[in-house]
Amino acid sequence: MLLEIKNVVKDYASHRALDHVSLSIPRGKIFGLLGPNGAGKTSLIRIINQITGPDSGEIIFDGEPLAPKHIERIGYLPEERGLYKKMKIGEQMLYLAQLKGLNKKEANNRINYWFEKLDILSWWDKRVEDLSKGMQQKVQFIATVLHEPDLIILDEPFSGFDPVNANLIKDEIIELNKKGATIIFSTHRMESVEELCDHIALINRSQKILDGNIKDIKNKYKNQTYKIELHSLTDEKSIRIENLYQLKNLEQIENKTNITIKLNQDISINQVLQSLLPLAEIHQVLEIVPSINDIFIEQVTLSNNSKKEIDHA
């Protein structure tokens, strides 16, 4: 584990931002930190960045309690991002890199490397105010990873990028990860989570409600639902086999019938297929795995409802 968060509590004057949150972020993985707005993600990220401190709990970075010296091993791209408007890009990069502990020469070399890589060498003497928002984001991304941090924290890294540049940045993130960087990736964009993340944690209302390997989670939440494509179904009633499954959906397109079914407990798909075989020709069987988006919505709604019940009780 590169980073372990143990029982962290953070209170603000009027509310509790983090309520006994524990997370383990494995080394070399891309970790998705998910949650609705105001769930406490930013509070957690700020604590990891030592911008604020926890009221109680412990954070272990690479085997040691988190300390100011670790700042240089962490790169942070905040959601609310910006640069000095009047400062030249090159100077600004140098300044930010030096604040992260690089010496001037080293910083210069790395800026050159990155500017060349992203083909923006001509921006060196430009001012931030002369760049478009997307260009600024690119510069800011470079500033985040310039000091080659072991842990990169990206808060909504793709917001403000056009699809081309978003892809470019995504490739860079994957490359950095391959080189060994651990990445914490906080976002609302679920499709990029499925694409990039190995692990996720879901935070809602200051509490962690779910975490683990993304495949495990998906397996855990797939609820025995299958989509079956049948050919030339004649009798609709005949396929309602109530003791095996519930029919969730049925649609007929030309001479094809698609059904979505949820298996009853202790029933296997093979049993179902056996009973269906005499009734119709089976073209395709698909297990429906819930998307992270579905899980996200389901879990958040669930936890909100249970909270409400508690509140009402």
Partner 1 sequence: MHKILLIIQREYFSRVKKKSFLLMTFLVPLFFIALYGGIFYLTKKSFKDAHAHIYILDQHGDFAPQLKSDPNITFTVSNRPLRDLKIQIKDDEQNSSILVIPKNIYQNSAIELISADKANITIQNSIARQLEGIIRLTEYKKLGIDPQVLVSVQPHINVNAKELTEDGEEKNSNTGIAMGIGVGLAILVYLSLFLYGVQVMRGVIEEKSNRIIEVIISSVKPFQLMMGKIIGIGMVGLTQFLLWIILTGGLIFLATNLLNKETVEQAAMQQGGMPAMQQTPNSGFGFGILQHLESVNVTEIIICFFLFFLAGYLLYSAIFAAVGSAVDSETEANQFTMPITMPLLLTYVLSFGVIINDPNGPIATWLSFIPFTSPIAMLVRIPFGVPTWQIAVSLIILIFTFLLVTWLAAKIYRVGILIYGKKANYKEIMKWMKY
Question: How near is the Cβ of 13 to partner 1 at its closest, in Å?
Answer: 5
Asked whether the beta carbons of 83 and 92 are under 8 A apart, the reply is: yes
**DSSP state for residue 290 in the 8-state scheme:** P
Question: How near is the Cβ of 151 to partner 1 at its closest, in Å?
Answer: 12
Give the residue, chosen from 100, 110, 138, 208, that forms a contact with partner 1 under the rule CB under 8 A: 100
By CB under 8 A, residue 65 contacts partner 1: no
Nearer to partner 1, 82 or 278 (CB): 82
By CB under 8 A, residue 46 contacts partner 1: yes
In order, the DSSP letters of 208-224 are EEEEEEHHHHHHHH--S
By CB under 8 A, residue 221 contacts partner 1: no
In order, the DSSP letters of 99-164 are HTT--HHHHHHHHHHHHHHTT-GGGTT-BGGGS-HHHHHHHHHHHHHTT--SEEEEESTTTT--HH
Give the residue, chosen from 1, 87, 241, 297, that forms a contact with partner 1 under the rule CB under 8 A: 87
Give the residue, chosen from 23, 83, 152, 173, that forms a contact with partner 1 under the rule CB under 8 A: 83
Which residues, in sequence order, are bridge partners of residue 249? Answer: 260
Question: How near is the Cβ of 65 to partner 1 at its closest, in Å?
Answer: 17
Give the residue, chosen from 95, 120, 168, 297, that forms a contact with partner 1 under the rule CB under 8 A: 95
**Strand 199-204 relative to strand 182-186: parallel, antiparallel, unpaired?**
unpaired
Nearer to partner 1, 100 or 199 (CB): 100
Question: How near is the Cβ of 302 to partner 1 at its closest, in Å?
Answer: 31
Angle at 58 between CA 53 and CA 64, to 5 degrees: 105
By CB under 8 A, residue 137 contacts partner 1: no
Residue 79 carries which side chain, given as an amino acid letter? Answer: E
The site for partner 1, by CB under 8 A, has a size of 29
- CA gap 141, 156 in Å, rounded: 11
Residues in contact with 272: Cβ distance below 8 Å, sequence separation at least 6, in sequence order: 226, 241, 244, 245, 261, 263
Question: How near is the Cβ of 46 to partner 1 at its closest, in Å?
Answer: 7
Nearer to partner 1, 84 or 221 (CB): 84
**Strand 16-25 relative to strand 3-11: parallel, antiparallel, unpaired?**
antiparallel
By CB under 8 A, residue 80 contacts partner 1: yes
Give the residue, chosen from 35, 40, 78, 157, that forms a contact with partner 1 under the rule CB under 8 A: 78
Q: How far is CA 196 from its chain centroid?
A: 8
Give the residue, chosen from 22, 24, 98, 112, that forms a contact with partner 1 under the rule CB under 8 A: 98
By CB under 8 A, residue 143 contacts partner 1: yes
Give the residue, chosen from 25, 30, 34, 96, that forms a contact with partner 1 under the rule CB under 8 A: 96
Angle at 154 between CA 198 and CA 171, to 5 degrees: 65
Taking CB under 8 A as the rule, which mask of x and - marks residues 178-197 in contact with partner 1? --------------------
Residues in contact with 211: Cβ distance below 8 Å, sequence separation at least 6, in sequence order: 23, 199, 200, 201, 202
Asked whether the beta carbons of 186 and 25 are under 8 A apart, the reply is: no
Give the residue, chosen from 32, 35, 89, 140, that forms a contact with partner 1 under the rule CB under 8 A: 140
Which positions lie near partner 1, rule CB under 8 A? 12-13, 46, 49-52, 68, 71, 74, 76-78, 80-87, 95-96, 98-100, 140, 143-144
